[in-house]
Amino acid sequence: MGAEFVALSLTPLLIGVLAAVTCALPGNFLLLRRQALIGDAISHVVLPGIVVAFLLTGRVAALPMMLGAAGAALVSVVLIEAVRRTARIEAGAAMGVIFTTLFAAGVLLLEQSDTSGVHLDVEHALYGNLESLIWLDATGWASLLDPVALSGLPPELPRMAVALLIVALSIAVMWRPLAIATFDEGFAATLGLPVRAIGLALVMLAALAAVAAFDAVGSIIVIAMFICPPAAARMMTDRLLAQAAWSVGFAILSAVLGYVLAGYGPLWLGFANSVSAAGMIATVSGLILGVTMMIGPCRRRAGGATVH
Amino acid sequence: MAHPLSTPRSLLQTEGTVAATPAPPPALQVGGLTVAYGEKPVVFSVDMSVAQGTMTAIVGPNGAGKSTLLKAVLGLVKPLSGEVRLFGLPLSRARDRVAYVPQRASVDWDFPARVIDVVLMGLHRELGLLRRVRPAHLDRARACLARVGMEDFATRQIGQLSGGQQQRVFLARALAQSADLYLLDEPFAGVDAATEKAIIAVLKDLRAEGRTIVAVHHDLSTIRAYFEHMFLINMRAIAAGPVAEVFTAANLQRAYGGRLGEAQVAGMQAGDATP
């Protein structure tokens, strides 16, 4: 499976893994802060951002689209805060209101604008195009050392790698204040920690992860990876650092297993066509969560079974 | 930092004897503090002064602004007006000397952390962003746990503790900060008798070391036994001073209004109230 695997499967697999891990890392903190839905919100509002960027520039290019998506993510975060504060709508509902509204606006925009000639549609937004991120220049494992072939790598791969690097480094540096502010914001503030800025930084990292991953793999994976691996990881351990490690492991497992099952699973079952890798990766992450909910050593909410 | 005067003392005593050196600034001074949530003031034009090395209870009915007063002092809620000074300094320059013990119910105890992890949060100023947790840090955290009688629980997940044990962990975290002023929000709310005993013993120890304690307290029956000063509040400051002087039927009536029967007040004043 050498040459064919490297050319057709290696890069989508790697991009899937990178996207999954990039989303799962901030997901740990979002989950503990009861903000997990913000990943959902961001990945939906990315659509109008991309459409607006396309309308402004008239072409499908990575940079303006990323900027449009990032801008939309920023706008949505601000709007969510605004709705929550001015109208006293609780955070989850505020997110729901904003992301459905903006996503719907994006769909309308898309319908009204002439995007028929370009690869820009709602399906793409949901499922991405993981399978198409192939590396045609590769002729085998040796291509990994061939500069000419390497220059033909899909640009999503280095982009996703950079996003992961930024997210992982930021979280590593912010780890302690982030943990303290997540557990006990009032106490964190009395230590002089900038709790508002910490919360905003986390949401920005989530936005970065969502926008970078959305471009490569679509919003289904983004939403699933923000929530499922960290939630499954929580069932496996009672320590934050270990939870983050487990979540990375589950994210990788989801991406690899999901990709393989999407490509070969239907064949094994006797069907002719493979299924969407993004959909399968998200499904696998949900199944992992289901399994850990049943057998994870720390699955019970503390206090449920112990003396109080 | 041990205070030079480590024996219990009252303000009156110091005034006469330490004329040569300037009197130390109050641990906590609040002037004209008003806090509102929305349109409604919760704390209105409150003045408060707490001398160093004393132990004060903030007392008042539910919704009287006790916790809000504490939070405003700590900068957790923004006051509409008023000034707060800690040891004569603005909060930003006195943070290192203040430890806060929030209400136990204010956090999610299902958070993935062990007891020792929470106590180590009290050492954040020393650990900073990236410094490694060394055995010396762990030893100090364990010593703080031992002080509240929780040394055997260091590796427990915090959600597996009883309410009283959780409260003690919070106190241990504050001890790790080795502050000079301890601000506690209802430290005895919903805890077992053993915990209440352990906590008050630690607080009295701290006071004996010259540190200052200010605690929001809701149990009128224990004020006499636990505190030497009290600050009675119901949105406005009602009365402040030594418990013996402030804990009167008239003052309690003014703070609690009709919510407290005459008989109850009389019973508690006699000091034989049952919980």
Enter the pTM of the model. Answer: 0.85
3-state secondary structure chain B: CCCCCCCCCCHHHHHHHCCCCCCCCCCEEEEEEEEEECCEEEEEEEEEEECCCCEEEEECCCCCCHHHHHHHHCCCCCCCEEEEEECCECHHHHHHHEEEECCHHHCCCCCCCEHHHHHHHCCHHHHCCCCCCCHHHHHHHHHHHHHCCCHHHCCCEHHHCCHHHHHHHHHHHHHHCCCCEEEEECCCCCCCHHHHHHHHHHHHHHHHCCCEEEEECCCHHHHHHHCCEEEEEECEEEEEEEHHHHCCHHHHHHHHHHHCCHHHHHHHHHCCCCC
Taking an 8 Å cut-off on Cβ atoms, the answer to whether B125 and A191 are in contact is yes
Whether A124 is in a domain gets the answer: yes
pLDDT score recorded for residue A9: 85
Q: Which candidate from B76, B121, B163 shows the least CB-CB separation from A308?
A: B163
pLDDT score recorded for residue A305: 40
A179 to chain B: which residues are within 8 Å by CB?
113, 121
Share of chain A above pLDDT 70, in %: 92
Residue B112 has pLDDT above 90, yes or no: yes
3-state secondary structure of A35: coil
Whether A305 is in a domain gets the answer: no
A237 to chain B: which residues are within 8 Å by CB?
112
Could you tell me the pLDDT band of residue A214, with boundaries at 50, 70 and 90?
confident
pLDDT score recorded for residue B161: 94
Taking an 8 Å cut-off on Cβ atoms, the answer to whether A192 and B113 are in contact is no
> Which of A35, A191, A234, A241 is the best residue to mutate to test the B interface, defined by the most B CB atoms within 10 Å of its own CB?
A191
The strand pairing partners of B100, in sequence order, are: B183
A239 to chain B: which residues are within 8 Å by CB?
112-114, 117
Q: Are A226 and A26 in contact (CB under 8 A)?
A: yes
> Average pLDDT of A230-257?
96
Domains in chain A, number: 1
Whether A222 is in a domain gets the answer: yes
Return d(Cα A153, Cα A63) in angstroms, integer: 17
B210 in reach of chain A (CB within 8 A): no
The strand pairing partners of B184, in sequence order, are: B101, B215
> Average pLDDT of B79-107?
94
Whether A7 is in a domain gets the answer: yes
Whether A257 is in a domain gets the answer: yes
Whether A307 is in a domain gets the answer: no
CATH number of the domain enclosing A79: 1.10.3470.10
Q: Are A26 and A287 in contact (CB under 8 A)?
A: no
Residue A65 has pLDDT above 90, yes or no: no
Structural domain harbouring A156: 3-299
Residue B108 has pLDDT above 70, yes or no: yes
A177 to chain B: which residues are within 8 Å by CB?
124, 129
Question: What is the Rg, in whole angstroms, of the alpha carbon atoms belonging to chain B?
Answer: 19
Q: Kindly report, residue by residue over B54-85, the tens digit of the pLDDT.
A: 999 999 998 899 999 999 999 999 999 999 99
Could you tell me the pLDDT band of residue B1, with boundaries at 50, 70 and 90?
very low
Residue B142 has pLDDT above 60, yes or no: yes
Whether A308 is in a domain gets the answer: no
Whether A85 is in a domain gets the answer: yes
pLDDT score recorded for residue B12: 43
B98 to chain A: which residues are within 8 Å by CB?
190
Taking an 8 Å cut-off on Cβ atoms, the answer to whether A303 and B111 are in contact is no
Q: Tokens for A221? A: 């994976």
Q: Are A225 and A18 in contact (CB under 8 A)?
A: no
B274 in reach of chain A (CB within 8 A): no
Q: Kindly report, residue by residue over A246-256, the tens digit of the pLDDT.
A: 999 999 999 99
Taking an 8 Å cut-off on Cβ atoms, the answer to whether A184 and B102 are in contact is yes
Taking an 8 Å cut-off on Cβ atoms, the answer to whether B121 and A180 are in contact is yes
CB-based burial of residue A139 (10 Å sphere; 0-12 exposed, 13-18 middle, 19+ buried)? Answer: middle
pLDDT score recorded for residue A124: 67
A175 to chain B: which residues are within 8 Å by CB?
129
Pairing of the two strands B236-242 and B28-37 = unpaired
Q: Which of A112-126, A207-221, A270-284, B215-229 has the lowest mean pLDDT?
A: A112-126
Q: Which helix (H) or strand (E) holds A188?
A: helix A185-190
Taking an 8 Å cut-off on Cβ atoms, the answer to whether B114 and A191 are in contact is no
Residue A304 has pLDDT above 70, yes or no: no
Q: What is the ipTM of this complex?
A: 0.85
pLDDT score recorded for residue B11: 42
- The Cβ-side half-sphere exposure at A43, using a 13 Å CA radius, reads 32
- The DSSP output letter for A293 is H
B124 in reach of chain A (CB within 8 A): yes
Q: Tokens for B108? A: 């999610």
Residue A189 has pLDDT above 50, yes or no: yes
Return d(Cα A238, Cα B162) in angstroms, integer: 17
- Between residues B219 and A266, the one the model is more confident about: B219
Cβ pairs bridging A and B (under 8 Å): 89
Q: Which candidate from B92, B102, B157 shows the least CB-CB separation from A302?
A: B157
